[in-house]
């Protein structure tokens, strides 16, 4: 069996190849990237060739049974033939579906948790806890040499909303509920999560009205693109804080900046952006109410993820169903 790995980072490609071969004794894995699609400082970048040392050197290097990747380039699908399924190296799959040459009938399978849920839960809980405990204000006080206690608001008034209750959103909601915050969750169709007030369908305004902190956990699809705009932000309580750990394309950046500048929003924590890396000089870099991290809220852990992908390949080879198959019509 042959497995193609396409990823803009040469080192990551090599790690995936090694992990897949270690877990599937019959598999030969090879990395493949078209020239010009590598991250900066690539180890190798030759079109139509295996671009890492683990290439098996088969008779036809451009056929494979399965592919694994991030942001596959169009040339990948024109060059690597015979695929039975494509595995996203992320929980999100917009980076794959954005590629117009992705074959309409090629099953696409996303990562499910694989160590990401705990990272997301910790990232979001950390943000909520530091907001609740006024840590930014205490840091400013330290800089000013001021000693002054700030009373926390009653916890029951500090509503935290999780927009999107998939695998990762549910883990975030559960974690925050465990800290005793009043957590509410919104999903397109009703979802029950213990300790979390559920909202769905046309209850989005009611959901938003109780979010002192709004955490975005929905996938980027045709329906969710630009959903966080001026109108949605106006439905949050005054001074609310936005946390985006999902996708930059969910948010209309000008509307977010306007809401921060007018004081309607108290702040934003942003891990994802419409353009990544965030371009130099972008207003978010220096905005006093914005905290930035470089798309690291949930890093793909290669060993754990490869174990999940290898298990699924093994099941597919035995004719068994697998979870995480993307419904192309919905986009996730």
Between residues 94 and 127, which has the closer beta carbon with respect to ligand GLV? 94
Q: Distance between CA atoms of 10 and 26, rounded to whole angstroms?
A: 23
With contacts defined by CB under 6 A, name the span among 31-39, 79-87, 90-98, 123-131 that binds ligand GLV. Answer: 90-98
Regarding 248 and contact with ligand GLV (CB under 6 A), the answer is no
Tell which one of 90, 169, 210, 267 touches ligand GLV (CB under 6 A). Answer: 90
Give SS3 for 215: strand
- The residue count for binding ligand GLV (CB under 6 A) is 5
Tell me phi and psi for residue 21, to 5 degrees: -65, -35
Between residues 9 and 300, which has the closer beta carbon with respect to ligand GLV? 300
For the CB of residue 248, give the shortest distance to ligand GLV in the complex, in Å: 10
Between residues 161 and 324, which has the closer beta carbon with respect to ligand GLV? 324
Give the CA angle between residues 39, 221, 231 to the nearest 5°: 110
Binding mask 260-299 for ligand GLV (x = CB under 6 A): --------------------------------------x-
Regarding 92 and contact with ligand GLV (CB under 6 A), the answer is yes
Judged on CB neighbours under 10 Å (0-12, 13-18, 19+), 59 is: exposed
Give SS3 for 67: strand
Residues 185/193, Cβ–Cβ less than 8 Å: yes
Q: Distance between CA atoms of 4 and 66, rounded to whole angstroms?
A: 6
Binding mask 294-313 for ligand GLV (x = CB under 6 A): ----x-x-------------
For the CB of residue 123, give the shortest distance to ligand GLV in the complex, in Å: 12
Element (H, E) at 300: none
Between residues 73 and 220, which has the closer beta carbon with respect to ligand GLV? 220
Residue of this chain nearest to ligand GLV (CB atom): 90
Q: Distance between CA atoms of 306 and 309, rounded to whole angstroms?
A: 5
**Residue 316, preceding peptide bond in cis (omega within 30° of 0):** no
DSSP string covering 90-129, please? SS--HHHHT-TTS-TTS-EE----TTHHHHHHHHHHHHHH
Tell which one of 68, 91, 218, 278 touches ligand GLV (CB under 6 A). Answer: 91
Q: Which residues are catalytic?
A: 247, 295
Between residues 74 and 294, which has the closer beta carbon with respect to ligand GLV? 294
Residues at the contact surface with ligand GLV, assessed by CB under 6 A: 90-92, 298, 300
């Amino acid at each position: 069996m042959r497995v193609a790995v396409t990823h803009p980072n040469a080192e990551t490609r090599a790690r995936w190849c090694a992990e897949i071969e270690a877990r599937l004794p019959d598999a030969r894995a090879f990395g493949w990237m078209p020239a010009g699609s590598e991250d900066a400082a690539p180890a190798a970048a030759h079109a139509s060739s295996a671009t890492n040392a683990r290439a098996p050197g088969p008779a036809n290097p451009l056929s494979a049974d399965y592919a694994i990747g991030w942001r596959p380039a169009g040339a990948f699908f024109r060059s690597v033939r015979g695929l039975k399924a494509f595995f996203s190296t992320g929980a999100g799959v917009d980076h794959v579906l954005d590629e117009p040459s992705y074959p309409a009938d090629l099953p696409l399978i996303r990562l499910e948790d694989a160590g990401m849920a705990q990272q997301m839960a910790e990232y979001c809980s950390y943000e909520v806890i530091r907001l609740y405990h006024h840590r930014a204000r205490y840091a400013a006080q330290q800089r000013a040499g001021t000693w002054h206690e700030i009373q926390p608001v009653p916890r029951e008034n500090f509503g935290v909303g999780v927009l999107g209750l998939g695998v990762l959103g549910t883990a975030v909601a559960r974690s925050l509920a465990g800290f005793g915050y009043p957590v509410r969750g919104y999903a397109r169709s009703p979802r029950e999560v213990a300790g979390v007030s559920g909202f769905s369908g046309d209850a989005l305004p009611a959901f938003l009205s109780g979010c002192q902190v709004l955490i975005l956990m929905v996938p980027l699809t045709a329906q969710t693109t630009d959903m966080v705009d001026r109108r949605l932000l106006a439905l949050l309580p005054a001074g609310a804080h936005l946390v985006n750990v999902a996708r930059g394309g969910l948010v209309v950046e000008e509307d977010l900046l306007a809401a921060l500048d007018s004081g309607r929003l108290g702040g934003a924590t942003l891990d994802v952006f419409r353009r990544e890396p965030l371009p130099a000089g972008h207003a978010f870099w220096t905005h006093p109410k914005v905290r930035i991290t470089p798309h690291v809220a949930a890093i793909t852990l290669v060993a754990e993820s490869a174990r999940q992908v290898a298990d699924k390949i093994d099941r597919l080879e035995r004719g068994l169903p697998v979870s995480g198959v993307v419904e192309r019509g919905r986009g996730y």
